[in-house]
A and B are shown apart, each in its own frame.
Chain A
Amino acid sequence: MRLTLAVAARAVGVGLPVAVAVAWVLARGRFRGRALLNAFVHLPLVLPPVVTGWLLLLIFGIHGPLGAVLLNWFGVRLAFTTGGAALASGVMSFPIMVRSVRLAIEAIDPGLEQAARTLGAGRLDRLVTVTLPLAGPGILVAAIVGYATCLGEFGAVITFASNIPGQTQTLPLAIFTALQVPGGEATAARLAGVSVTLALAGLLLAEWLGRRLRVAVGR
């Protein structure tokens, strides 16, 4: 349970800033290959999670191109570790976070950024003082929904990080394990209850905070 929360926190903590950056590029950038980047970002949403997990294994496994670099240069091993579980669930929730942030950024009137330019604000200045605050509700909702998604991720995690109790066995994996054992239904039902509660709380929190923040930014 605590492991699940920590894994999801790491996934969102690392994934969200990247998601915001990618969403900003997709929403405001004008460059060749934008459609390709967009498709690539959405890939985990449409691929079977097992395939995503396996691809991660190919790339970040200890013999994979990135995995080998991480292991040899930084001594970081991702496959079959807690970090790996975070990476797998982070990748799975990434498109959902990008989508939410991108919609929020696209909903901002580009005229406001133009106004900021005429008032002497450079690109980074505008991003920090106008775009991000106005996208704040969307970013927060992205974080909460992304977190809730991470809590439930199964396929990619079990493929990439395996099902090691205390290390990579997150809530859904524990439920799955319980169901494999004769007489494990009671444990499974208890864990499923926790799962439903967490998901519901996350969604309600996202809704409530989103509304509060929208009022705060005057929209």
Chain B
Amino acid sequence: MTLAVALRHRFGTATLDIAFDVPTPGVTALFGPSGVGKSSVLAAIAGLLRPDACRVTLDGERLADTEAGIWQPTERRRVGFVFQDARLFPHLSVAANLRYGLRRAGAGATGFDEVVALLGLSALLARRPHTLSGGERQRVAIGRALLAQPRLLLMDEPLASLDAARKDEILPYLARLDTALRLPILYVTHALDEVAQLADSVVLLAAGRVVAAGPLDAIAARADTPLALRDDAGAVLTCRVAEHDTARRLSRLERDGLSLLVPGQAAPLGSLVRVRVPAREVILARMEAAAIGAALSLHNILPGTVRAIAEDAEHGAAMVEIEAGGAPLLSRVTPDAVARLRLAPGSPVLALVKSMSVEVLGTRTLTNS
């Protein structure tokens, strides 16, 4: 099943002209710099903004097709929307806010008690919105949207107005959403850490266009996207916890043919964890793996093949895309290193990653793994 979006809209001098298909269910991040039109895309999908031309198809049903003269009004699309500023009704209690959409949608797959438990809202039900903290407000807004029994949940930078602590308070709830409810989620953000933690797929926007779209691990490890130019560029991998070595205080994670050692984890064996391998932390070598392993403190020596090399003028560096054991990795090295090692697409190479450099982002179960 898919959500297919194509739209063209002119705002003053800027033009938005994008098209993407994303799998449903699953979390898709719409990622790009501020002002690129991400929120307008969400507004168009919800029917709050009518673009010059627009086609939105959700699991085969046309929500909008301006060419065919189809434009379902927002209130009949059953598309949930979580706004950046929560937009709770100030004259209603938390419980009444939660029930607002539920009453109109009728009982559905998502029950009141289930949502209250999922988002930890039971202590807030009698309160008024103006007495809530920013994080609490956003949780209520998410619950209210879920209870309207949407077929698709749109989230417009739901964490952007929160400080880091509040953000960390909500992220685990969000990570649970799509697995608990199997609801497709389209999530707009300009924060890469949210993408890394939540998204299964990414649609990268720049200057009103889609520059890349696909599964997060494939996109994050590409050398030729705007993501690769960021300081924090790096591969994002979903791995299975394969072994806990308590004596060495290490855990071994596996993904396809790749095996990564990381500092000891609490996640149970067999669970899925998401890790980020920052490109600047990946060293490249062309020699015998055994010779390195004996001499260095290093735990992760990953044999692979260079897939592509792109210039990163901003950092005076080269971005090297490597496939190691079926997993995509990204390494930021100097152009000089590329020349000295005579790296080219197809070259065999060793990717060296300190176990301490692997960022473990949290446990999660993926819907489309």
- Verify A118–B105 contact, CB threshold 8 A: no
- Verify B80–A118 contact, CB threshold 8 A: yes
Contacting residues of chain B (32-68) with chain A, CB-CB under 8 angstroms: 46-48
A120 touches which of B91, B104, B128 (Cβ 8 Å):
B104
- Distance in Å: Cβ of A127 to nearest Cβ of chain B: 13
- Which residues from A are CB-within-8-Å of B100? 116, 119, 121, 129
- Which residues from B are CB-within-8-Å of A17? none
Given A109-B87, A111-B83, A111-B87: A119 in contact with B145 (beta carbons within 8 A): yes
- Verify A134–B91 contact, CB threshold 8 A: yes
- Which residues from A are CB-within-8-Å of B128? 218
Given A109-B87, A120-B104: A114 in contact with B144 (beta carbons within 8 A): no
- Verify B90–A117 contact, CB threshold 8 A: no
- Distance in Å: Cβ of A191 to nearest Cβ of chain B: 41
- Verify A218–B130 contact, CB threshold 8 A: yes
- Verify B75–A122 contact, CB threshold 8 A: yes
A219 at the interface (CB under 8 A from B): yes
- Verify A120–B105 contact, CB threshold 8 A: yes
- Verify A134–B90 contact, CB threshold 8 A: yes
- Which residues from B are CB-within-8-Å of A112? 87, 89-90
B2 at the interface (CB under 8 A from A): no
- Verify A121–B80 contact, CB threshold 8 A: no
The chain B residue sitting closest to A133, CB to CB, is B91
Given A111-B83, A111-B85, A218-B129: A118 in contact with B48 (beta carbons within 8 A): yes
A217 at the interface (CB under 8 A from B): yes
- Verify A121–B87 contact, CB threshold 8 A: no
- Verify B130–A114 contact, CB threshold 8 A: no
- Distance in Å: Cβ of A76 to nearest Cβ of chain B: 39
A216 at the interface (CB under 8 A from B): yes
A115 at the interface (CB under 8 A from B): yes
Identify whether the interface residues of A are mostly helix, strand, loop, or mixed. Answer: helix
Proximity bits, A87-122, B CB within 8 Å = 1, else 0: 000000000000000000000010110111111111
- Distance in Å: Cβ of B83 to nearest Cβ of chain A: 7
- Verify A117–B48 contact, CB threshold 8 A: yes
- Distance in Å: Cβ of B138 to nearest Cβ of chain A: 13
- Distance in Å: Cβ of A100 to nearest Cβ of chain B: 18
- Which residues from B are CB-within-8-Å of A219? 90, 130
Listed residue (B48, B83, B87) with the most chain A CB atoms within 10 angstroms of its CB: B87
- Verify B104–A217 contact, CB threshold 8 A: no
The chain B residue sitting closest to A120, CB to CB, is B104
B101 at the interface (CB under 8 A from A): yes
- Distance in Å: Cβ of A90 to nearest Cβ of chain B: 29
The chain A residue sitting closest to B148, CB to CB, is A119
- Verify A115–B75 contact, CB threshold 8 A: no
- Which residues from B are CB-within-8-Å of A122? 73, 75
A130 at the interface (CB under 8 A from B): yes
- Which residues from B are CB-within-8-Å of A129? 100
The chain B residue sitting closest to A118, CB to CB, is B81
- Verify A120–B81 contact, CB threshold 8 A: no
Q: How far is the CA of A54 from the CA of B285 in the complex (A)?
A: 97
Contacting residues of chain B (115-148) with chain A, CB-CB under 8 angstroms: 128-130, 144-145, 148
Q: How far is the CA of A4 from the CA of B174 in the complex (A)?
A: 62
B87 touches which of A115, A125, A134, A136 (Cβ 8 Å):
A115
A117 touches which of B75, B85, B91, B129 (Cβ 8 Å):
B75
Q: How far is the CA of A90 from the CA of B363 in the complex (A)?
A: 67
Q: How far is the CA of A116 from the CA of B73 in the complex (A)?
A: 12
B79 at the interface (CB under 8 A from A): yes
- Which residues from A are CB-within-8-Å of B89? 112, 115-116, 130, 134
- Which residues from A are CB-within-8-Å of B79? 118
- Which residues from A are CB-within-8-Å of B130? 218-219
Q: How far is the CA of A128 from the CA of B293 in the complex (A)?
A: 72
B104 touches which of A111, A121, A130, A136 (Cβ 8 Å):
A121
B74 at the interface (CB under 8 A from A): yes
Q: How far is the CA of A125 from the CA of B75 in the complex (A)?
A: 11
Q: How far is the CA of A115 from the CA of B83 in the complex (A)?
A: 8
In addition to A111-B85, A120-B104, 13 A-B residue pairs with Cβ atoms within 8 Å of each other are A111-B87, A114-B87, A115-B81, A116-B89, A117-B75, A118-B81, A119-B75, A119-B145, A120-B76, A122-B75, A136-B91, A216-B91, A218-B130
Q: B residues bordering A, Cβ < 8 Å? A: 46-48, 73-76, 78-81, 83, 85, 87, 89-91, 100-101, 104-105, 128-130, 144-145, 148
**20 A–B contacts, CB within 8 A, in A order:** A111-B83, A111-B87, A114-B48, A114-B81, A114-B83, A115-B81, A115-B89, A117-B47, A117-B75, A118-B46, A118-B75, A119-B75, A119-B104, A119-B144, A120-B76, A129-B100, A134-B91, A218-B90, A218-B129, A218-B130
